Chains A and B, each alone.
Chain A
Amino acid sequence: MRKLKKVFVTFISAIALTFGISSANAQDTIVLGSAISLTGKYATNGEHTQRGYDLAVKLINDKGGVKVGGKKYNLAVKYYDDESNASKAAALAQRLIEQDGVKYMLGPYGSGITIAVAPVTEKFGVPMVEANGAARSLFTKGYKYLFAVLNSADQYLSSAVDLAADVNKKAGKKPSSLKVAMAFEQDAFSLDVKLGVMERIKHHGMKVVIDDALPKELNDMTATLQKVKALKPDLLIVSGHSKGAMTGVKQITDLKVDVPLIAMTHCDAASINKKLGAGNGDYVLCGSQWHKSLTYKDNYFGSASDYAKLFEKVYGYDPPYQAAESSAALLVFKDAFERANSLDQKKVRDALAKTDMMTFYGGVKFNAGGQNTSKPMVMFQVQKGENKVVAPVKWAQAKLIWPAPKWADRK
């Protein structure tokens, strides 16, 4: 009997140990919370996101912090690791809010995980600015506390379809005669990309000849590509995060698949221009939220290329757009705090809703659903191992190379 009691006492003190020591809020610091993928299948992009956040926090603090009610506050971010798992992310968001007393949230990485976190922040009335959840369903649920600085996923590759229609028309081929092959992963993000693409395909009256779904444990898409070889479509669209881009380009190279135009997502996160040997990633068209050659500017990071230089100096590689949009999220938060001139969640939320600003990443202005409407997507094409913006025309660095030369004609 006494032993059992002892066991229970040990249990209870263990609980106290586990749960007790977590909340330590320094004065004059605004703590933002974020559950982010430090391990698991999104760990690379999770790291880009975290670095984007950290860089912006450091810069804002160095430049005088946030002024609210005449007082200076520093920013800090409390991270948890969601293991790239939607279920864990939701639990961790709850934990950040309820146990760590976090009053403002930054988004996690990935659409699926953001969809899991958004109901939690909404339930507790915690404003969240997210930079990496692009699924359109996020903005149609009537969330009041969710703000996204990025374009929704359905816009990622829809302009690639328009582009294909355009170049073919110029070459004397009717858009409605075009054949399209598609391969999309079965997850929240890629299915949304597909939605946008399908809309444009219908609009042009193109014909879908292959519509494959990619599994999550993707490392071989030979079957899809062999079908592509057999049916010779005019446009191939692949979306499956970094592994879709990587596997796709790798096997297109191996199988020497000739398609006049190939469009993908996550090319820069997967660095297909560098990792696959010289020239093998060439001519792939990629949808991107941001590119360092764009001409946006703000008072903190300067221009987009200044941001790229700073990021490169600190972390040693070119910032993918995932990092840039994450940094932008903090600029938005800072701006909202100062305009609200209060740390009240409701007031900050209202200020966020009225955001209308310019950053190095592009304009930020939210519609009623919390979606950023003042920034277009860009498309770049890999040309000689460099990512060159080809659309929209306003920022184009180079002309789209179309059709992609046949493998037999490449060196």
Chain B
Amino acid sequence: MSAATTAEPAFVAKTKAGRVTDFVDSRVGGSGILREFGRKVFPDHWSFMFGEVALYSFVILLLSGTFLTFFFDPSMAETHYDGSYVPLKGVEMSVAYSSSLDISFDIRGGLFMRQVHHWAALLFVASIAVHMLRVFFTGAFRKPREMNWVVGSVLLILAMAAGFTGYSLPDDLLSGNGLRIIDGVIKSIPIVGTYISFFLFGGEFPGTAIISRLYMLHILLVPALILLMIVLHLFMVVVHKHTQYPGPGRNDNNVVGYPLGPVYAAKAGGFFFIVFGVLALMAGFFTINPIWNYGPYDPSPVSAGTQPDWYIGFVDGALRLMPGVINGFHFEYVIFGFTLTLNVLLPALVPAGILFTVMFMYPWIERWITKDDREHHVLDRPRNAPTRTAIGMAGFVWYCVMWAAAGSDLIATHFHVSLNDVTYWLRTLFFIGPIIAFIVTKRVALALQRKDREIALHGRETGRIVRLPHGEFIEVHAPLDEYKRYKLVGFESPKVLPAEPNEHGVVTGKEKRRAFLSKWFFEDRVAPATPAELEAAHGHGHAAVEASEDSKSLTH
């Protein structure tokens, strides 16, 4: 209709709504935008919705966070608490902590909003993590989406930064202990560490500046950067179009799914309220971060069970796993009067550094090994990329070992085992866990591929046992329908790409390394059943099922 309106200047809408729409449309071209976006097709799959969960959590964070800023005072000035929580009455504390307590006990709806905000923060990072795992294991980071993978990774780091700066704001004992650890980590950086720490805290820890500084980062810089990255991320999603799972009629040149308008938009809009509802229920019924339990921050007390929120947990866990001394070998040296504490520096920065570096680089690593420069819009089933899946699981297990280590004390108390044993086991798993995960995952993926191939070629087992006239028992296999079979055979299985000479006819060392990795990736590939194989097996099987006299073919 709008296209028609621009063509006929004399058009006058009949209704009031129509006139308003026409007014807007003739100025900003809204209908064109709407038509373009409304026709955007999104494939429907539950695993595609975690990005949405993250986006909605972020919106909820903005809303609840705005409410909290009305009442939170980030000052580290000292005061005596005079609110309604009796066990802290008259206790000396910072204004920041006091105002957080007031939000919790004396402002209507304050505790609920605080809990919504904190639960939403945990869900925000968790949904980003799950979203990234989905993207990784389905190979959605491949061309043309490498840059969007990087933007997403930046978003993960920003989300962690937002979480950590927020976690520290109430200035309670728990968050203060967390800041103390961060201060220790910063100070362990050779030469510049102390300077950075003093710069950040405005003097010796804890100083009187850190809360207001973190507050500015938390409500201004970090959310602005997140917003910017979200815009970039979504822009690229629109440009690239959404990926889809393999299936009949789906290829790299189309997207099969529902258009955004009206069904998908309604679903997505409704989903926002579902996420909001789930978070509101959690906030209403489950305590999160009971700051009144922890008391005001004071550098001397440390509470048992002090942990960071889950997304920083793996760094805390790595710190817990690091031994101070191994068989008399110390990790702390004094060189020219400078103390080098490797027992803090190594665990705090190296595992996280490795994880994030590999995460950022992975699309290019795989691209280099496979020399695959084509666009991919159809996803891989994880089993059909066994080595990638195995690498992902190795990283995942490595992360989880460190993550579990952050709760080592709770594992010890709740399962009645020795804290030392938990630490020894996790230290062992830190090194061999990823290797075991790699081997097991790869074998499982290959086995599933072989099973798929078997089913594609010979049909599925029906469980129907038939006794043949000469006494033999056989199980009847039923052929798959074409749609199901497509899923089992319609995938790419890259082959090993041997080293190739460059334009000068030289096989470079780098190329040899690439060829070695290519072999490592693909040497034990399971090829999808080819049409010829299918034809052979199919004809074979059919004849067998229909005319069950032929016992030999049935026993395949």
A joins B in a complex: no
Please report A residues at the B interface, Cβ cutoff 8 Å.
none
Please report B residues at the A interface, Cβ cutoff 8 Å.
none
